[in-house]
Amino acid sequence: MSDSKISASMMCANLVDLRETIRVFEEEKVEYLHIDVMDGEFVPNFGLGVDYIRGLRELTSIPLDLHLMIKNPEYKLQWIGIKETDIVSIHYESTYQVQRALDWLAPYGCKRYLAINPATPVYVLEEVLDYVDGINLLMVNPGFSGQKIVPSTLKKAEKLKKLLVEHGKENMTLEVDGNITPENGHKLREIGASIFVCGTSSVFKGGIGCYKENIERFRDAIR
């Protein structure tokens, strides 16, 4: 199993404390900054945009984990300024041309992930496993922070790991996103998850003075 990594959900960050938040994350060696890019169409919310991404890159060298919750992402990739160090997740449900979207992502040299919503069955992944580096399994319906985990997604994570093993992809990275508490993180780590999107349920719980302790507690849970 791959080493466990934290991807801090910047949607949950207080902009007033952004520089200090980044400093804490750098000191605690947080592996990724998770950026929810939302268009108000694929999901009922607007999220972090191109200017935010550009500004964040000026503040830190922590790699970005770009979660594109946008319709037809293949036509918008060039707007984002994707780097080779990034993870980029597109949604299976966001385009009729999933394989083409993944192909168009390839020239950027980033890690290509496919995200699936809670109600999307895992078998849809079978035909595109050769085009991706990882799967981003949504544990809540996308669009808003602070939601509770959809209970069936824990069993779904087990189904997904079984499918990956059956297709010789047992080493493919599994990222999990949505209500990732230390307790849920521990359960999902035992199933085989290795990247954990941490928001208000873990890293961002409480004020900035709590972040260091929150990170340490979460790392203990996913060892």
Q: How many separate domains does the chain show?
A: 1
pLDDT of residue 44: 80
Render 36-89 in DSSP notation, one character per residue: EEEBSSSSSSB---HHHHHHHHHH--PPEEEEEESSSGGGTGGGT---TT-EEE
Q: Which amino acid type is present at position 158?
A: E
pLDDT of residue 137: 98
CA–CA gap between residue 120 and residue 113 (Å, rounded)? 16
Q: Is the pLDDT of residue 5 over 70?
A: yes
User: Average pLDDT for residues 63-92, to the nearest whole number?
Assistant: 96
pLDDT-based confidence at 42, cuts 50/70/90?
Answer: confident
Give me the catalytic one of 39, 65, 86, 177.
177
Active site residue 3: no
Q: Is the pLDDT higher at 152 or at 2?
A: 152
Q: Is the pLDDT of residue 136 over 70?
A: yes
Q: Is the pLDDT of residue 144 over 80?
A: no
User: Average pLDDT for residues 165-186, to the nearest whole number?
Assistant: 97
Coil, helix or strand for 198?
strand
Nearest to 202 by CA among 145, 153, 159: 145
User: Average pLDDT for residues 4-24, to the nearest whole number?
Assistant: 96
CATH of the domain at 73: 3.20.20.70
Q: Is the pLDDT of residue 160 over 90?
A: yes
pLDDT-based confidence at 142, cuts 50/70/90?
Answer: confident
Give me the catalytic one of 3, 17, 36, 65.
36
Mean pLDDT, the chain, as a whole number? 95
User: Average pLDDT for residues 194-210, to the nearest whole number?
Assistant: 96
Coil, helix or strand for 111?
strand
Active site residue 39: no
Q: Is the pLDDT of residue 143 over 70?
A: no
Where in the sequence is the domain holding 42, given as residue range(s)? 5-221
